[in-house]
Chain A
Amino acid sequence: MKENIFPAIKITFIALLFFSGIYTLIVLGIAQFVPNKGEGTVIKENGKTYYSNVGQKFTDDKYFWSRPSAVDYNAASAGASNKGPTNPEYLAQVQARIDTFLKHNPGVKKEDIPSDLVTASGSGLDPHISVQAADIQIDRIAKIRGIAAANIKQLVLSNTERPLLGFLGTERINVLKLNLALDNLK
């Protein structure tokens, strides 16, 4: 025991300096060369700053809605619903979201609603929606903003992020970027 205890204490202390200290400082130093110095990727628009990766709550009819969030898009305490797939309370909640969506988007058929628009994400901060989720909101926004639906469809297309290298992963739309572009479309 005695021959082990002092090396254990000393090595732990050196490891603390090395792995918590020096390793962190190296990464921190290199992060200074990243745009915005490692403080998160931001979009600056009209004097306001937004984190492009952090989803925002969009519930106004004039904006594309983002996904439901278990934490109401609170980026200081992110989280998920953690509801099981058969929980009746959860299924009732999804049904309520479907009903609300249909009420605000009268032309949309129920079977066209994609599930990402009525289920909560893992982080509660999902910045994206699927392309289908954007498409079925176009008519509502066109009507409220008095813009031709074709122009908004064009905007959706130009804001669609392709899979990585064209063949890996999902196609998706960053809701914040799309809504910023929407506000600029006059």
Chain B
Amino acid sequence: MNTEIAGIFIMFILVMAFAIPLGKYIGKVYSNEKTWADGLFNPIDKIFYKLGGVNPLKEMNWKQHLLALLTMNLVWFLFSMFVLMNMSWLPLNPDNNPSMSADLAFNTTISFISNTNLQHYSGETAMSYFGQLTVMLFQFISAGCGMAMAAFVFFAMKEKTTDKLGNYYFFFIRSCTRILLPLALIAAILFAFNGVPMTFKGKDTITSLQGDTVQVSRGPVAGFVAIKQLGTNGGGFFGPNSAHPLENPSYFTNIIQTIYILLIPVALIFTMGYILKRRKLAWVIFGVMLTGFLLLLIPTIINEMNGNMAITKMGITQPMGSMEGKEVRFGSGASAYWVVNTTCTSNGSVNAMHDSLTPLSGMFAMLGMMVNSLFGGVGVGFLNFYIFIILAVFISGLMVGRTPEFLGKKIEAREMKIAMIIALLHPLLILTGTAISSYLYAHNPTAYASWLSNPGYHGFSEMLYEYTSSSANNGSGFGGLGNNVPFWNISCGIVMLLARYLPIIGPVAIAGILANKKYIPESAGTLKTDTGTFGLMVFAVIVIVAALSFFPALALGPIAEHFSIH
């Protein structure tokens, strides 16, 4: 077998091998069951509870959960704005990098607290080490927030009637200390031993073999990269993210980094199965997600490994596939695999430049983010999928003439309204944003010439991708977009803000409302949700609601570009 394809198989098999036991461990952590690591973590968590002044055993209803989460995120916003706008005089700035402008700080702050990590700057020149460590904090705790909300929804899905559903601080702190921290530490150490720098020294100046003087940026990279991969964050230490040879030096580090993208999103499905004791439902959900994932993955790998048709026409050979924006040590196979991993999960880190992908691969990358629930971001991916489940239950209920029920709870008008608003929010934000920016550009191409680095269909794709990535809280980009200007900083900031918090509030509200309803035991008339038929139904809803809303826009961008060279 081709060694590049073999690498892809190994990476996926390793994800499954680690994610299933990890899912069970996470289930135990949230259920407050005994684990082998209690001796180490109980004292650490106690510090948080005690100094933070919270009682982790106080049960909260869904509104209290959301209030605690939103208040905490507001504190992060203010703290991050302060740090990013004052980096120049704060400590740990050996390269004398400047503070950020207000609009860039606004964009970067929202980007990191919303687990997006869209970056309109390059780390080497726009961040002090103190700034990097601050945004690294958000990589931990924004991921912790998402996981805490997923935990809430898992417990709300149980077969009982209650409005007391665990404690926000308990879920949040445990997510950070018992799940994210140890996993990040393992990866960081492996990275440090495989050539990723971990130092507080500034740039080094060397003379190359050919005699050029070169400066080499360094920094505390190993620790940063570990959590950016693990928490579906994706914000790179250096500008080119994991394509940079100091951020991702070898095929081995690339395997670990790729595994870490999918690890927690997959594990959380099995956590749900563990907490609800419904393993079959977990496998049905996994199956739906995997089907969508493979439908995006396989053509992307084929497209990238076959190379760029426009280059083929020049008469040279492409034994490694399309290599613009890619690194030889990964090859186009592992790069294409990463593309689909990072866009399906809202991670957004890259090891190849998405702007230079062949047109259809660029489209599959966008589709992953447009669906945004094929595994999805840590915690929030499941919340998005939950919305699709609710829609599918309702539609199937109508089709067979039964009262729509999900896990013994009746789904009524109020829940459906919330689910529809959340499902439509994503296309609304993406398409409105793209429409406004296209209008501005089309009516004044000279004034906005700096926006687009590629003409025609591809230029349109650059704008569509930017809003898709913002609204999916993904953070990858078509890097050619000249996005560090107030228009993009502010509009993407607003999109990220709405697209982060509303899709958390919606599913949490639905789950909270359902949990409080009367439990109806399963009978012959119940719609079974842990079957292949229901899985197919959810899949159809995803295709109809998510994918088809975007088809016209995709036809104007990547599809048109594809046919211009074929």
Residues of A at the B interface (CB closer than 8 Å) are: 1, 4-12, 14-16, 18-21, 23-24, 26-28, 30-31, 34, 37-41, 48-60, 63, 67, 73-88, 90-91, 94-95, 98, 110-116, 118-130, 132, 163-164, 167-172, 176, 179-180, 183
Contact B201 A87 (CB under 8 A): no
**Bound state CA distance, A34 and B53, in angstroms?**
40
Task: Give min CB distance, B70 to chain A, whole Å.
Answer: 8
Interface size on B, residues (CB 8 A): 123
Q: Would you call A85 and B310 a contact (CB within 8 A)? A: yes
The smallest beta-carbon distance between B53 and chain A, in angstroms, is 5
Q: Is the CB of A26 within 8 A of B68?
A: no
Q: Which A residues are CB-close (under 8 A) to B252?
A: 164
Among B216, B245, B455: residue with most chain A CB under 10 A: B245
Give per-residue flags for B313-332: 1 if the beta carbon is below 8 A from chain A beta carbons, else 0: 01111111011111111110
Residues of B near A114 (CB, < 8 A) are: 316-320
Q: Which 7 A-B pairs have the closest CB atoms?
A: A122-B243, A82-B480, A84-B458, A31-B198, A38-B198, A128-B328, A170-B331
Q: Is there contact, CB below 8 Å, between B245 and A126?
A: yes
A73 and B214 form a contact (CB under 8 A): yes
Once bound together, how far apart are the Cα atoms of A3 and B159, in whole Å? 31
Q: Tell me whether B106 is interfacial, beta carbon within 8 Å.
A: no
- From B67, B136, B246, A4 is in contact (CB under 8 Å) with B67
Using a CB–CB distance below 8 Å, which chain B residues touch chain A? 1, 3-4, 6-7, 10, 44, 47-48, 51-54, 67-68, 71-72, 74-76, 79, 122, 124-125, 133-134, 136-137, 140-141, 169, 173, 176-177, 181, 184-185, 188-189, 192-193, 195, 197-201, 203-204, 206-210, 212, 214-218, 220, 222-223, 226-227, 238-240, 243-246, 249-252, 254-255, 307-311, 314-320, 322-331, 334, 350-353, 355-359, 453-458, 461, 478-480, 561, 564-565
**Distance between Cα atoms of A175 and B402 in the complex (Å):** 67
CA distance A132 to B220 in the complex (A): 36
Q: Is the CB of A82 within 8 A of B453?
A: yes
CA distance A7 to B334 in the complex (A): 44
Chain A hits for B239, CB < 8 A: 77-79
Closest chain-A Cβ to B527's Cβ sits at a distance in Å of 39
CA distance A28 to B188 in the complex (A): 10
Known A-B contacts: A7-B169, A27-B223, A129-B328. Give 10 more (CB < 8 A).
Answer: A11-B48, A31-B192, A31-B198, A84-B561, A85-B458, A90-B454, A121-B326, A124-B240, A164-B252, A168-B6
Bound complex: CA A52 to CA B245 (Å): 10
Which residue on chain B has the smallest CB distance to residue A49?
A: B206
Q: Of B199, B212, B240, B308, which contacts A123 at CB under 8 A?
A: B240
Selected from A60, A84, A119, A130, the residue in CB contact (under 8 A) with B319 is A130
Question: Are A31 and B353 also in contact (CB < 8 A) when A86-B310, A86-B565 are?
Answer: no
